[in-house]
A = this chain, B = another copy of it.
């Protein structure tokens, strides 16, 4: 048995089931070892940004890490933007990165670079194996490191010779780490703040991470209802369970002004799996801190702590019966079924984000997964799908665009019995467009809706917001995706994904119905008219 085979034995025993791969010469033994294991699924991706984004999507939906296989420092570099997003999503992820044979590094061959320096930027744990026997141990430790807290990125580096040299020591999995508990004082402080009096509605539970799963949302809603607090969540949740029968949560807006407006009446915030809200970017003369300056903050549970236990303890402390939380028949919480209906469409013939959202709200299948990288269009789409059938909503956690298509690929592989709908901005989609090919190869049930507005629309807004002077045609050309227009039907079919183009709400609805009714991937290019 060589080092690679011994490693795979340990990784499988540690619970790893899938590997998103873009290998090179230095990983051939690892490829071969994976190829010999029926219990490790291999998914080839044609770019490393797809590898990392798919591993993130898998982890968000499977609640366990996927393995990646990457080729030295430069291969890792290509994955780094989506590693950043995965880090911000607090998911577990295990990177397996090949490197030159140990004796080869000193020659500084062309592809030589400092793999660990690349990995250290987003990984919480990095180490290279020191021998063929040590390689499996490095793998076991990486899985262990990835499972710390809510989930971490752990990267182990496999010099090529450690993969091909003989290994003799079997390495067992390490025990699964437990999430740390929030301290008792945090429960007390949260309870005290919630019951401190003040105006009803001037206190908010501000939720992120695991607090946005249905069982925890029901607990939080029960607490909110009892205390009069508002239920809010971070702008870019990794996974928010919402829709019919689930508690309504106010999502913090993206732009600083409406975000600050939403927070302006608060004098108390209880942070649960989320950090205090700050603006995404800074703007001239505007504060980055969004809550009122005198708003008291208390943390019930950090994102890495046991959020469910903390919420249950708080509910109990408040005299509630946590067992009663949950279900659409929960008497307390306002649920989506009781929310206000969406506004009527003022221009029924135009394919606006609102029109798309309304179709989606009607047609989204029960238990769908929505991957939202729709940028400027996403805000409206989120608002009008509040009453759709129960679903999971996944967002761009780290702001590094090019995540939506890969995330959808990974989510679909984690949940083969659920439909994935990817609401995708055109500019962002181009970064990792190669994901479409893997969707076709794996025949994942993903419906990609490309919001083609032929521009980086968000930047046209931001240009004015940062106080830039009147833009010249050249300035605007740097924010504009026309000349030539991208043809998404050609791009998708070129990678084996059936595609169609919609220019009216009726066309869109017909195409969406068809795509949702068939297995396998489909792409709808929606030529959207934007009314911001």
The docked-state distance in angstroms from the alpha carbon of A47 to that of B480 is 14
Known A121-B114, A466-B29, A496-B485: A107·B289 in contact at CB below 8 Å: yes
- What B residues does A193 contact at CB under 8 A? none
Are A110 and B47 in contact (CB-based, < 8 A)?
no
Partner of A31, one of B78, B468, B489: B468
- What B residues does A382 contact at CB under 8 A? none
Are B483 and A111 in contact (CB-based, < 8 A)?
no
Are B29 and A49 in contact (CB-based, < 8 A)?
no
Q: Is A23's beta carbon under 8 Å from chain B? A: yes
Are B484 and A491 in contact (CB-based, < 8 A)?
no
- What B residues does A103 contact at CB under 8 A? 282, 288
**Stretch from A179-187, A324-332, A427-435 forming part of the interface with B:** A427-435
Q: Is A362's beta carbon under 8 Å from chain B? A: no
Most buried by B among A46, A77, A280, A480: A77
Contact with B along A69-88 (1 / 0, CB 8 A): 00001110110110010001
Q: Is A397's beta carbon under 8 Å from chain B? A: yes
- What B residues does A220 contact at CB under 8 A? none
Are A466 and B25 in contact (CB-based, < 8 A)?
yes
The docked-state distance in angstroms from the alpha carbon of A279 to that of B480 is 44
Q: Is A58's beta carbon under 8 Å from chain B? A: no
Name A475-492 residues within 8 Å CB distance of B: 475-481, 483-491
The docked-state distance in angstroms from the alpha carbon of A108 to that of B84 is 13
Residue of B nearest to A78 (CB): B81
- What B residues does A466 contact at CB under 8 A? 25, 28-29, 160, 164
Q: Is A469's beta carbon under 8 Å from chain B? A: yes
Are A28 and B110 in contact (CB-based, < 8 A)?
no
Partner of A80, one of B77, B160, B284, B484: B77
- What B residues does A280 contact at CB under 8 A? 25, 109-111
Name A424-469 residues within 8 Å CB distance of B: 427, 430-431, 433-434, 437, 440-441, 458-459, 462-463, 465-469
**How many residues belonging to A are interface residues under a CB distance threshold of 8 Å?**
101
Q: Is A494's beta carbon under 8 Å from chain B? A: yes
- What B residues does A479 contact at CB under 8 A? 23, 31
Partner of A110, one of B113, B118, B397: B397
- What B residues does A100 contact at CB under 8 A? 281-282
Each complex incorporates copies of this chain amounting to: 2
- What B residues does A469 contact at CB under 8 A? 32, 36
Partner of A458, one of B25, B36, B467, B495: B25
Q: Is A11's beta carbon under 8 Å from chain B? A: no
- What B residues does A288 contact at CB under 8 A? 101, 103-104, 107, 109
Most buried by B among A42, A279, A281: A281
The docked-state distance in angstroms from the alpha carbon of A280 to that of B28 is 15
A50 to chain B, nearest CB (A): 10
Are B34 and A478 in contact (CB-based, < 8 A)?
yes
Known A42-B474, A430-B47: A284·B164 in contact at CB below 8 Å: yes
Are B84 and A113 in contact (CB-based, < 8 A)?
yes
Are B399 and A28 in contact (CB-based, < 8 A)?
no
The docked-state distance in angstroms from the alpha carbon of A114 to that of B164 is 35
Q: Is A15's beta carbon under 8 Å from chain B? A: no
The docked-state distance in angstroms from the alpha carbon of A31 to that of B289 is 26
A167 to chain B, nearest CB (A): 14
The docked-state distance in angstroms from the alpha carbon of A519 to that of B92 is 50
Partner of A494, one of B441, B471, B486: B486
Are A104 and B462 in contact (CB-based, < 8 A)?
no
Name A1-40 residues within 8 Å CB distance of B: 21, 23-26, 28-29, 31-32, 34-36
A79 to chain B, nearest CB (A): 9
Known A236-B110, A484-B441: A84·B73 in contact at CB below 8 Å: yes
Are A281 and B487 in contact (CB-based, < 8 A)?
no
A249 to chain B, nearest CB (A): 19
List residues of chain A with CB under 8 Å of any chain B CB: 21, 23-26, 28-29, 31-32, 34-36, 42, 44, 46-47, 49, 73-75, 77-78, 80-81, 84, 88, 100-101, 103-104, 107-111, 113-114, 117-118, 120-122, 160-161, 164, 236, 275, 278-282, 284, 288-289, 397-400, 402, 427, 430-431, 433-434, 437, 440-441, 458-459, 462-463, 465-469, 471-481, 483-491, 493-496
Q: A23-B478, A118-B121, A488-B494 are in contact. List 6 more A-B contacts (CB 8 A).
A: A26-B281, A78-B78, A109-B288, A110-B397, A164-B466, A440-B484
5 closest residue pairs by CB, A with B: A35-B475, A484-B496, A490-B494, A74-B400, A101-B282
